[in-house]
Amino acid sequence: MPDDFTATPMWQAVINELVQRIERFHDVQSNVDDAYGEFCNVLKREMEKYLSYSCDSAGGRKRFRKAKPFRSEELTVLWKDMNSKEMQWLSCKSHDKRQLEILFRDAQKIFDKRLTQTERRYRKESIINIDTDDRNKFWNHFRKLGPRNNDSVPLKVRVGDELISDLDGVINNWSEW
The predicted structure's pLDDT at residue 68: 76
- Tell me which of 29-38, 59-68, 87-96, 105-114 is least confident: 59-68
pLDDT digits (tens, 9 = 90+) for 113-170: 999 999 888 888 877 777 667 778 777 777 776 666 666 656 787 888 888 888 888 8
Residue 96 has a pLDDT of 87
Would you state the pLDDT for residue 83?
94
Residues in CB range of 86: below 8 A, 6 or more apart: 104, 107, 108
User: For residue 164, what pLDDT is reported?
Assistant: 82
Does residue 58 carry a pLDDT above 80? no
pLDDT at 53: 63
Give the DSSP per-residue string, 10-52: HHHHHHHHHHHHHHHTTT-HHHHHHHHHHHHHHHHHHHHHH--
**Rounded to an integer, what distance in angstroms lies between the CA atom of residue 9 and that of residue 16?**
11
The domain ranges of the chain are 9-50, 63-132
What is the model's pLDDT at position 152? 67
Side-chain half-sphere CA neighbours of 54 within 13 A: 10
DSSP secondary structure of 59-120:
HHHHHTSS--TT--HHHHHHHHHHHHHHHHHHH--STTHHHHHHHHHHHHHHHHHHHHHHHH
Neighbours of 94 (CB within 10 A): 7
Q: What is the pLDDT of residues 14-45, one digit of tens each?
A: 778 888 887 887 777 887 788 788 878 877 87
